[in-house]
Structure 1
Amino acid sequence: MSVEALADDYRPSEDEEFMNARQREYFRKKLNAWKDEILRESRETLENLQEESTNHPDMADRASSESDRALELRTRDRQRKLIAKIDAALKRIEDGSYGFCEETGEPIGLARLDARPIATLSLEAQEMHERREKVYRDD
């Protein structure tokens, strides 16, 4: 199915077959747009960091600049990891496993996928995972 075949106002619906060609194309477009936005922001950050690399004579200005730079780099690292998750979701679309819970094999749910298109667990499996994580963290 071509990208042009999807209307701009198309939204996946519970009334149609789960992960049909239209839904897969919808999520492929959504994931690629998200990835493109992250990459654009990364390029802008790199340009800003290169411009900002001037040496500040004032210690407070230098400290502030270094703090801003460290924050930007941490943000970029999180976004790099997010791109890896987006790429993994795009691969799942290609292999037909996208939209199905990795633990239960059940459909994840369109509302959850629309809100978090990189989700790999159904809401129930995610909640169970977080409860287990909390139990182990509290020990």
Structure 2
Amino acid sequence: MSAQKVTLSKEFLARQQSRLVALRATLLGREESTIANEVSDQEQHGSEAEEFEDAAQAMAQKEINQGLRNAIDQRISDIERALQKIEDGTYGISDESGEPIPLERLEAVPEAVLTVEEQEMRDTGK
């Protein structure tokens, strides 16, 4: 792993930090909303007699919700890591290879802690 130095302006870092904090708040709000909706559905329909199809739909919806929660949890984790990297002075450097993350990627995905190629490998489980 070659730890390279990336020079990013203080203004860019401050803007990214603001974006990351706002994104984290938005994602946390979505996760709470998803959980609240599940609880509400259970409270409204929990004691009703269920048909087989209802149970299948409910299971499918739970799987979808869990997938969404997992994706949100990963993004929140990446946001937390990116915020820590700003504090440490390592923002813009890949956690995996130590290579610089292109500025365009950081602007598009402020929570990026990996290069595009590394992210694709993580997403595909390779």
Per the normalisation by structure 1, the TM-score is 0.68
1:96 aligns with one of 81, 84, 89 = 89
Tell me the percent identity: 25
CA-CA distance at 1:118 after TM superposition: 2.4
- Structure 2 vs 1, CA of residues 40 and 109 (structure 1 numbering), >3 Å: closer, same or farther? same
Q: 2:3 maps to which residue? A: none
Q: 2:20, 2:110 within 8 Å by CA — same for their partners in 1?
A: yes
Q: 1:35 maps to which residue? A: 24
Counterpart code for 1:32: V
- Structure 2 vs 1, CA of residues 28 and 122 (structure 1 numbering), >3 Å: closer, same or farther? same
Q: 1:115 maps to which residue? A: 108
Relative contact order: is structure 1 or structure 2 higher (C-alpha 8 Å, sep ≥ 6)? 2
**Which runs of 5 or more residues in structure 2 are unaligned?**
1-5
Could you tell me how far apart the structure 2 residues matched to 1:31 and 1:121 are?
Answer: 16
Q: Which has the larger radius of gyration?
A: 1
CA-CA distance at 1:71 after TM superposition: 1.2
Per the normalisation by structure 2, the TM-score is 0.75
**Which runs of 5 or more residues in structure 1 are unaligned?**
1-16
CA-CA distance at 1:104 after TM superposition: 4.5
Could you tell me how far apart the structure 2 residues matched to 1:51 and 1:80 are?
Answer: 22
Q: Deviations over 1:6-56 (max 9, x none)?
A: xxxxxxxxxxx9412111111111111111111010111111000111235
| Corresponding position: 1:63 with 2:56 | yes
2:38 aligns with one of 35, 45, 49 = 49
Q: 1:84 maps to which residue? A: 77
Q: Aligned-pair RMSD on alpha carbons?
A: 2.5
Aligned length: 112
Could you tell me how far apart the structure 1 residues matched to 2:28 and 2:14 are?
Answer: 21
- Structure 2 vs 1, CA of residues 46 and 88 (structure 1 numbering), >3 Å: closer, same or farther? same
Q: 2:17, 2:86 within 8 Å by CA — same for their partners in 1?
A: yes
Could you tell me how far apart the structure 1 residues matched to 2:102 and 2:68 are?
Answer: 29
- Structure 2 vs 1, CA of residues 82 and 59 (structure 1 numbering), >3 Å: closer, same or farther? same
Could you tell me how far apart the structure 2 residues matched to 1:22 and 1:120 are?
Answer: 19
CA-CA distance at 1:122 after TM superposition: 4.3
Q: 1:75 maps to which residue? A: 68
